[in-house]
Structure 1
């Protein structure tokens, strides 16, 4: 039976494969008929895991498109629309997308690692170096953590801003991936410095000078890392994507990582879908940050409680949670999450919805979403065929 889910996922990636790279969805929704940095790289990682030559070629084309339209300042496009009549390059909407830069580095290096071709990485090294320098400048205070604007990453209509955990971890993954090839002492030192600052500022009872000691002292820690902090204090919601990356990158003590695993899996099993919500708990109208959430949308408001970023459940996010569980040798838990990713993707005759209302289990967003399919492929191949990424 699992082959059906896997094959349907592969089929969808073929549908979104174009000569310029992966589109975000097979549905004819204009904003999704583009080559996106984060969507494209996540689909590309699934392509590598699949071993399918056509999909791997599409991943290469995705990376070439992103590289071609890198801004002179170093920013990587959030997305690129390419038709016979026009080329439209976007570096973000209400704010620039910080994670486009890190996903690009990850994509180039994971591709080079998989095909065992240092020349491919070297070909793009000047662009990667420009990305790395740009990330350094986005620290602003030269203290090793990126400062991310509201709306500055994949959770572009959510409340995270400032020192966002997800972006710090993606940066470590990107630097680790690049350093696999170039073996730079300077980059090694930077990775160590970023890791130290994450552990000082995002884990409980840590030693070392805090960015915001007063806010840190006032935070009631749970069994996970909070999603972000800024000069105004911490936002303490659970970020499933970020905490999954922390597990994959072995950030924090073994004891604390075990607590993250247990908290995350208990949260998944407590919900009707058997999946992790992207952020938890939801923000409600009576909560402090409701107005911030309500106003952070360019078009229609979508972040009702239990939906989209505000407590909605995404196959894509759970794909990385599945990889994180597997990295901790939690085989049964990984199988459980994969089964529920497949069940969600199969809803409405394999419509591969973007996300689901965690409370009602109703689908939300765009159908035939490519990275929902990618999640199934990533976990399936890692679980059943021992596929491994470079971390």
Structure 2
């Protein structure tokens, strides 16, 4: 039985029209401009400091953020530009230099006062900051074929991994995450959270590779084994299946034992001893395939579900399906802080251009290249919008209207667009970066 449904069979690649290709390429050039607006001596800011009004809690945008900066690095490594490469290096050095004594990587380091912030909303620790920095260090050093940065911060990187590993408090191969302890820092996820576990798997792989490059083969083997264990644990716990007992370790999945979900079509968002979230964390599921945690067969099942659910409407792509409504068990009153996580807002089903880039790359990796090109055009149309001007590469858009609501010239939105153009080979043949 064919894995690719007839509607999406890539029998004849669709070439974008000249006007469509020109529009996408114009977005590529504007994305590089947006990226440049986030360059500082300390590293990439989350959004352009000169193009956004800052008030109230928005003051924390005046910082080099670990997760924002690391993603921006990973998605711009194909750019051969001195200023951008220098900012990639500075971002990682700024964050690693401010590590806590226990090994925690700060969530951000302020631009104005050079102070490390370790807690987000409610002073809750940012777990994914360290995960993303480990991943970015490997990506940066291996792409540049220069491991100077990793050697300079070898001790700090090891401490960061041990700090992260300490969050596997029951030694089951997965991290235990505090509520609102990652990029969804105003959202109710805790204990075993899919997004963080996918990053943990990838960070373990990257750190093992770093250890090999730094001449520590025994450490590399240890972290390789931990990555394999984490992968098995994620698939067993987050992909409920009636055939779980036939898996390689012979054990039924936790989700199957507790909740009887039957056979899943995607990795569920959260699992704890007391509850689970059956919602589809779109972002985390896209990451899981892009880092090779799930295979193509599972990824195609997930794609069919997400496509049928319309997560790419009105633009690619909502981070969560379905949204959490007031009165739902997963609803929290604090979702209304700054009116951010109302239904179809922000983490609660908002449309995020950076996730849209992952969506396009996910489809392209599945081999459905015709559709990937059409979705790339939709992503360009989304990023073309703006609150004050065209091509703002906003932070996020409303999940129903598609209108921009987040900060303008968001670094990871621009970086994801750049990476997606490279993946689909639709960037201009030649472009002056300087």
TM-score normalised according to structure 1 size: 0.91
**Correspondence for 2:39:** 17
**Correspondence for 1:76:** 105
Structure 1 stretches of 5 or more lacking a match? Answer: 387-391
Residue 75 (structure 2) pairs with residue 33 (structure 1)? no
Selected match of 1:354 from 395, 399, 412: 395
Residue 229 (structure 2) pairs with residue 175 (structure 1)? no
Structure 2 counterparts to residues 231-250 of structure 1, below 5 A? 231-250=273-292
**Correspondence for 2:334:** 295
Residue 388 (structure 2) pairs with residue 374 (structure 1)? no
Report if aligned partners of 2:73, 2:88 keep a CA contact under 8 Å in 1.
yes
C-alpha displacement at 1:52, in angstroms?
A: 2.4
Alpha-carbon distance change, 270 to 342 in structure 1, aligned in 2, over 3 angstroms:
closer
SS in 2 for 1:224: coil
**Correspondence for 1:325:** 363
Residue 82 (structure 2) pairs with residue 60 (structure 1)? no
Selected match of 2:118 from 83, 91, 95: 91
Residue 276 (structure 2) pairs with residue 230 (structure 1)? no
**Correspondence for 1:194:** 230
After superposing the two structures, state which structure 1 stretch, 200-209 or 136-145, moved more.
Answer: 200-209
**Correspondence for 1:272:** 314
Corresponding residue pairs, total: 380
Structure 2 counterparts to residues 210-221 of structure 1, below 5 A? 212=254, 216-219=258-261, 221=263
SS in 2 for 1:368: coil
Runs of 4+ more than 6 Å apart: none
Alpha-carbon distance change, 353 to 126 in structure 1, aligned in 2, over 3 angstroms:
same
C-alpha displacement at 1:209, in angstroms?
A: 3.7
Report if aligned partners of 1:244, 1:324 keep a CA contact under 8 Å in 2.
yes
Report if aligned partners of 1:345, 1:353 keep a CA contact under 8 Å in 2.
yes
**Correspondence for 1:314:** 352
C-alpha displacement at 1:295, in angstroms?
A: 1.9
Report if aligned partners of 1:215, 1:234 keep a CA contact under 8 Å in 2.
no
Report if aligned partners of 1:203, 1:252 keep a CA contact under 8 Å in 2.
no
**Correspondence for 1:50:** 79
Structure 2 stretches of 5 or more lacking a match? Answer: 1-21, 213-219, 428-434
Report if aligned partners of 2:312, 2:318 keep a CA contact under 8 Å in 1.
no
The structure number with the bigger radius of gyration is 2
State how far apart, in whole Å, the 2-side matches of 1:76 and 1:336 are: 39
C-alpha displacement at 1:238, in angstroms?
A: 0.8
**Correspondence for 1:389:** none
The RMSD of aligned alpha carbons is 2.0
SS in 1 for 2:338: coil
C-alpha displacement at 1:316, in angstroms?
A: 1.1
After superposing the two structures, state which structure 1 stretch, 123-132 or 258-267, moved more.
Answer: 258-267
Report if aligned partners of 1:226, 1:236 keep a CA contact under 8 Å in 2.
yes
Residue 163 (structure 2) pairs with residue 134 (structure 1)? yes
Alpha-carbon distance change, 382 to 108 in structure 1, aligned in 2, over 3 angstroms:
same
Report if aligned partners of 1:313, 1:358 keep a CA contact under 8 Å in 2.
yes
Residue 30 (structure 2) pairs with residue 8 (structure 1)? yes
Alpha-carbon distance change, 220 to 357 in structure 1, aligned in 2, over 3 angstroms:
farther
SS in 2 for 1:35: strand
Report if aligned partners of 1:267, 1:276 keep a CA contact under 8 Å in 2.
no
After superposing the two structures, state which structure 1 stretch, 45-54 or 123-132, moved more.
Answer: 45-54
Residue 185 (structure 2) pairs with residue 185 (structure 1)? no
Report if aligned partners of 2:281, 2:321 keep a CA contact under 8 Å in 1.
yes
TM-score normalised according to structure 2 size: 0.83
Report if aligned partners of 1:219, 1:234 keep a CA contact under 8 Å in 2.
no
State how far apart, in whole Å, the 2-side matches of 1:234 and 1:339 are: 36
Alpha-carbon distance change, 329 to 124 in structure 1, aligned in 2, over 3 angstroms:
farther
C-alpha displacement at 1:115, in angstroms?
A: 0.6
Report if aligned partners of 1:23, 1:35 keep a CA contact under 8 Å in 2.
yes
C-alpha displacement at 1:272, in angstroms?
A: 2.3
Selected match of 2:424 from 364, 383, 387: 383
State how far apart, in whole Å, the 1-side matches of 2:312 and 2:347 are: 18
State how far apart, in whole Å, the 2-side matches of 1:311 and 1:194 are: 28
**Correspondence for 2:13:** none
State how far apart, in whole Å, the 2-side matches of 1:185 and 1:252 are: 22
